[in-house]
């Protein structure tokens, strides 16, 4: 009898692990571009200074974000109409295809302007994939989780999201320190992680057997609610859409500042070596990933709103002082400690982001309701982070970028103060879980 009681729990845990693995694969492919940009930018934009090469590479990174709302709209709609499981697997395949294109694209010296054109196409495809996957994985993890553990289980979305970047940076560290020289990485070694990303599609065959559809979606499907028109039903939730935008704005700008731009900042502004900057970023992100479930579980006890407000207040007051302290740090250990503090502050947003957004929508529009406004906000604020930062640096006004981050967090803070705590006021508690 005890074994029968534990079967649903084991089934739920296996499904959450499988969904988290799909999330990790997708984000590894997405972040390989950011991690290896310092090496492959010259292959696509050879006739430029190092800062301008990074600027152009960051421009394509930003353009990839333009497809995220399209992916949130189309793939999120598919997730609400045909199920979370199949749409999630489709997202993984599309992302890995983008990595394969980048891996096989010849350099500018061989095919000229077609090289950056193919790079752009691949990133647009990956942007489409990740735009849809965010809303789908948010819905999947939150619908699988028991109500009293929703913050804990859904925090694995960002834990594995960051895990994807950890894997990307780990690949870079191995190549830097144990396998290839700096010159080999610049010439051809940067292609290796994209090949790995393409082959990670094989994981989808494993996931296919361990992912199962959520009960919340199946209940909606059985009532034919989805057939009545997802887009018409989405219009019934304007306030929820507004809150997703408000919650995401400051959080995503801070996230892409510390998660993707910081590696370039350590090299391009502070003057650290590429290898040291990568190593510091790797261990900081490992710490960041490990604390996500701790704070997610904490939100199940005290609510989501206190963590959001803590992020808003700390981010507003501490962003500029922490960056200034990093500029004057005397060692790599000090840089790591300061970056870790930045990531602790950021965790007030990331650890509960999935739970908060999923709790705002009913099951019939949850994937697209989260995915579309989230993707639009990330495209505007997150996707442009590196480009704006590098553009301001090129104009000798880099300090203004961190004022911009501070103001965005402050605006989100005003919204956090005025929104209800979604742990207590939500549209998911009455749905079946698992």
Taking Cα atoms as reference points, which of 225, 73, 215, 78 lies closest to residue 142? 215
Burial of 28 (0-12, 13-18, 19+ CB in 10 A): buried
Radius of gyration, CA atoms only, the chain: 21
The per-residue b/e assignment along 140-154, b for 16 or more CB within 10 angstroms, e otherwise, is bbbbbbeeeebbbbb
CB atoms near residue 364 (< 10 Å)? 24
Q: Is the CB of residue 413 less than 8 Å from the CB of residue 285?
A: no
Per-residue pLDDT band at 228 (split at 50, 70, 90): low
Per-residue pLDDT band at 2 (split at 50, 70, 90): very low
Reported as a single tens digit per residue, the pLDDT across 245-280 is 999 999 999 998 998 788 888 888 888 887 788 888
Q: C-alpha 381: how far from its chain's center?
A: 13
Reported as a single tens digit per residue, the pLDDT across 140-154 is 888 888 888 888 988
Taking Cα atoms as reference points, which of 331, 209, 187 lies closest to residue 270? 331
Residue 405 CB partners (closer than 8 Å, separation 6+): 253, 254, 257, 315, 319
Q: Is the CB of residue 237 less than 8 Å from the CB of residue 361?
A: yes
Q: How far apart are CA 186 and CA 211, in angstroms?
A: 39
CA dihedral 114, 117, 123, 124 (to 10 degrees): -130
Strand residue runs (E) in 208-312 = none
Question: Three-state DSSP class for 106?
Answer: coil
Q: What is the pLDDT of residue 1?
A: 43
Q: What is the pLDDT of residue 307?
A: 95
pLDDT-above-70 percentage for the chain: 91
Reported as a single tens digit per residue, the pLDDT across 85-115 is 888 888 888 998 999 999 998 888 888 878 8
Q: How far apart are CA 392 and CA 386, in angstroms?
A: 10
Q: What is the mean pLDDT of the chain?
A: 84
Kind and range of the H or E run holding 153: helix 150-154
Q: What is the pLDDT of residue 408?
A: 94
For residue 182, pLDDT beyond 70:
yes
Structure tokens at 133: 């996957």
More confident residue, 5 or 312: 312
For residue 59, pLDDT beyond 90:
no
Q: What is the pLDDT of residue 229?
A: 65
Per-residue pLDDT band at 208 (split at 50, 70, 90): low
Q: How far apart are CA 219 and CA 202, in angstroms?
A: 31
């Amino acid at each position: 009898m005890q074994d029968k009681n534990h079967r649903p729990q084991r089934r739920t845990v296996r499904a959450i692990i499988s969904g988290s693995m799909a999330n990790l694969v997708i984000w590894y492919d997405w972040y390989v571009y950011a991690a290896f940009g310092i090496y492959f930018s010259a292959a696509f934009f050879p006739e430029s200074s190092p800062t301008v090469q990074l600027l152009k590479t960051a421009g394509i990174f930003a353009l990839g974000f333009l497809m995220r709302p399209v992916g949130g709209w189309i793939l999120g709609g598919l997730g609400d109409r045909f199920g979370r499981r199949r749409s999630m697997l489709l997202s993984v395949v599309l992302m890995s295809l983008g990595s394969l294109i980048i891996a096989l694209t010849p350099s500018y010296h061989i095919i000229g302007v077609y090289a950056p054109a193919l790079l752009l196409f691949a990133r647009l495809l990956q942007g489409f994939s990740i735009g849809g996957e965010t809303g789908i994985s948010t819905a999947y993890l939150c619908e699988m989780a028991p109500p009293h553990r929703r913050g804990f289980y859904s925090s694995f979305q960002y834990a594995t999201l960051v895990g994807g970047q950890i894997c990307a940076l780990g690949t870079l560290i191995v190549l830097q320190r144990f396998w290839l020289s700096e010159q080999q990485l610049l010439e051809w070694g940067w292609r290796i992680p994209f090949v790995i990303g393409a082959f990670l599609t094989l994981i989808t065959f494993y996931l296919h057997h361990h992912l199962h559809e959520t009960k919340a979606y199946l209940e909606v499907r059985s009532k034919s609610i989805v057939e009545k028109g997802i887009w018409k039903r989405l219009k019934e939730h304007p306030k929820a859409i507004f809150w997703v935008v408000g919650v995401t704005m400051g959080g995503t700008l801070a996230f892409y500042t510390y998660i993707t731009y910081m590696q370039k900042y350590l090299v391009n502004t502070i003057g650290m070596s590429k290898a040291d900057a990568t190593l510091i970023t790797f261990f900081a992100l490992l710490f960041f990933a490990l604390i996500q479930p701790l704070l997610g579980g904490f939100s199940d006890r005290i609510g989501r709103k206190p963590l959001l407000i803590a992020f808003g207040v700390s981010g507003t007051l501490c962003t500029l002082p922490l960056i200034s302290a990093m500029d004057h740090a005397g060692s790599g250990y000090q840089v790591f400690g300061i970056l870790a503090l930045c990531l602790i502050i950021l965790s007030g947003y990331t650890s509960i982001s999935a739970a908060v957004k999923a709790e705002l929508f009913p099951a019939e529009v949850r994937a697209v309701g989260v995915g579309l406004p989230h993707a639009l906000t990330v495209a505007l604020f997150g996707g442009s982070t590196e480009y704006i930062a590098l553009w301001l640096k090129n104009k000798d006004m880099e300090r203004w970028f961190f004022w911009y981050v501070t103001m965005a967090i402050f605006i989100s803070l005003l919204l956090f103060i005025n929104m209800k705590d979604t742990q207590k006021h939500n549209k998911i508690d009455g749905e079946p879980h698992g």
